[in-house]
Amino acid sequence: KPILRLLSVFLVVAILVSPSATGTRAEGDRRRDKRLAQLLRWLEEGGVDLKAVKAEWTDRMGWVLRANRPIAPNDMLLKVPRRLLLGPHQLKGSHLDKLAGRMEVPDRMLLLLMCERVNSSSFFRPYLDLLPSKVDTPISWSMEEARELVGSWVLSKAVRLRHELSRSYQQMKEEVLDKFPDRFPPPLFSYELYQWAYSILRSRAFGNYTLLPLIDMMNHHPDSRLAPTLLSDGSDALIARKEYSPGEEIWGFYGRKSDGDLLLNYGFTTSPQHTNRFNQVELVLDLDLSRPSISEIVDLKHMLVQACGFTSTQQKFVLYKGFISSTLITYLSMDAVDDGDGEDTLMAIAHGDVTTLRAETLSRILDKVLRKISQLATVLLTSYPSGDLLADLQRWRGHEKEVAPSRRRQALTVRMVEKDILTTLKQHATMAAEMTRGCKEDCNQLYHRAGNLTWLMERRGGGSEKCTE
């Protein structure tokens, strides 16, 4: 009993003296609020008018930019003078510019960021202190964490970027850092610092590798079209394109980026909160110019493929949900033409004028193309580790309650988006092939519009439900 009482007292004392999660969080909030106040004061002293916008921190989204008053279209939301922008212009004529030698602009900016980061008296210190210490993208994930990305192009690209990053740091080290150790002390100018600078530049820079304080707190929405505007005096501005109510979030547009692009470069996905119409899957094809082995039209096919802007080896296509590009249909149609169809058929397809072709010929070629697309989608789907979309969805829902999306959940999001595109593509191509077989009328229209899933469903009428399940 004395031992139990002693343990109880020890536990009570331990609880009382150890910092609670609430206290730690409150301390972090205070530190963040203090740094935001320092940044805003620095911006105001530099001539920035902050009446129209305000920055807020949220647990789920991080920093967000909101309207501080009613905003009308074409109103100036924010204008940051050139001297407060951290970009290549800050290097011109400086001693660092001379030390950088023949380095390209992106590498010069990395070196500048590294120098500013370790300089406690940097003019940009209020801005630098509020930047994230790490941008969490698949480039820095472990192989176990990246396992959910197997099958996606994002994984191979992340691995390639990781190797390129290591090589580029070694090159900077040999060409600049090691030559001037007094200016770039090895313990400070480490690979970790280089990784930080790379992730900041990759995720936050606009235009010519330039960082825009406060403007870069604007989050991305695939339906927004708000982006910084470079003004004649060299400053960057946000000019409203719509009305905003007080407190409404100001969404920006980082470009036509899929969730895979966003995860790889910025560390987040827009799905499932927002529908991202730029989601895509990459398809790389080799045109079989030697089929059949003895062909009278292979040389013409080779010439026409190049004349149409395709390569004679590997050709990359981008696949979107509900849409098969006309270039992919043309490419595969040229591949499907054989000696029995003749040179005139090949020429007609290459020129995009199939009105002269017999309905039976065009129907047969289009059927082969669509069945080929369905087969390609099936092959790509087998490259993903799990079975169907439902299994992925169940696993994703296991992480749904997380305040900040985990790496596993974000990877599952990208995988589900890509598999959804491929599954829809397979259904799309199969349905179009069924409509093509035995086509007697309107084959020309079907050829040119087979890539539009919405049109096919309307044409098919009552059978459209199956394709949208």
Give the tens place of pLDDT for each residue, 15-31. 344 555 567 778 888 99
**Chain mean pLDDT for the chain:** 86
Give the tens place of pLDDT for each residue, 286-325. 765 545 555 678 888 888 888 888 876 778 899 998 888 8
Cis peptide before 138 (omega within 30 of 0): no
Instruction: Tell me what pLDDT residue 461 has.
Output: 66
In the chain, what are the domains?
281-468 (3.90.1420.10)
- Would you state the structure tokens that stand for residue 436, as one six-digit string? 């093509």
Give the tens place of pLDDT for each residue, 61-82. 899 999 999 999 999 999 999 9
Cα separation, 113 vs 201, in Å, equals 8
Q: Mean pLDDT throughout 265-285? A: 90
Cα separation, 61 vs 84, in Å, equals 25
Cα separation, 302 vs 287, in Å, equals 9
What type of residue sits at position 208?
A: N
Nearest to 36 by CA among 71, 65, 6, 14: 65
Cα separation, 209 vs 405, in Å, equals 28
Cα separation, 398 vs 133, in Å, equals 28
Give the tens place of pLDDT for each residue, 374-393. 999 999 998 887 656 566 66
Instruction: Tell me what pLDDT residue 405 has.
Output: 59
The three-point CA angle 422-427-429 to 5° equals 90
Nearest to 448 by CA among 258, 58, 459: 459
Cis peptide before 292 (omega within 30 of 0): yes
Residue with tokens 């480490």: 190
Who's near 91: CB < 8 A, 6+ residues apart? 97, 100, 108, 109, 112
Cα separation, 210 vs 204, in Å, equals 8
Cα separation, 159 vs 164, in Å, equals 9
Instruction: Tell me what pLDDT residue 306 has.
Output: 85
Q: Mean pLDDT throughout 415-429? A: 91
Exposure string over 411-446, b if 16+ CB within 10 A, otherwise e: bbbbbbbbbbbbbbbbbbbbbbbebbeebeeebbeb
Cα separation, 218 vs 256, in Å, equals 16
* Strand-pair partners of 318: 282
Residue with tokens 């029995």: 340
**340 or 48, higher pLDDT:** 48
Nearest to 37 by CA among 52, 49, 54, 61: 54
Nearest to 424 by CA among 452, 447, 460: 452
Cα 157 to chain centroid distance, Å, stands at 12
Who's near 184: CB < 8 A, 6+ residues apart? 176, 177
Of the chain, the percentage scoring pLDDT greater than 70 comes to 86
Label residue 469 by pLDDT band (50, 70, 90): very low
Instruction: Tell me what pLDDT residue 69 has.
Output: 97
SS (HEC) of the chain: CHHHHHHHHHHHHHHHHCCCHHHHHHHHHHHHHHHHHHHHHHHHHCCCCCCCEEEEEECCCEEEEEECCCECCCCEEEEECHHHCECHHHCCCCHHHHHCCCCCHHHHHHHHHHHHHHCCCCCCHHHHCCCCCCCCCHHHCCCCHHHHHCCCHHHHHHHHHHHHHHHHHHHHHHHHHCCCCCCCCCCCCCHHHHHHHHHHHHHHCECCCEECCCHHHCCECCCCCCCCEECCCCCEEEECCCCECCCCECCECCCCCCHHHHHHHHCCCCCCCCCCCCCCEEEEEECCCCCCCCCCCHHHHHHHHHHCCCCCCEEEEEEECCECCHHHHHHHHHHHCCCCCHHHHHHHHHHCCCCCCCHHHHHHHHHHHHHHHHHHHHHHHCCCCCCCHHHHHHHHHCCCCCCCCCHHHHHHHHHHHHHHHHHHHHHHHHHHHHHHCCCCCCHHHHHHHCCEHHHHHHHHHHHHHHHHC
- Would you state the structure tokens that stand for residue 324, as one six-digit string? 């098969």
What type of residue sits at position 51?
A: K
Label residue 158 by pLDDT band (50, 70, 90): very high
Choice among 45-54, 97-106, 144-153, 247-256 with the minimum mean pLDDT: 144-153
Residue with tokens 């390209």: 104
Residue 226 pLDDT > 70, yes or no? yes
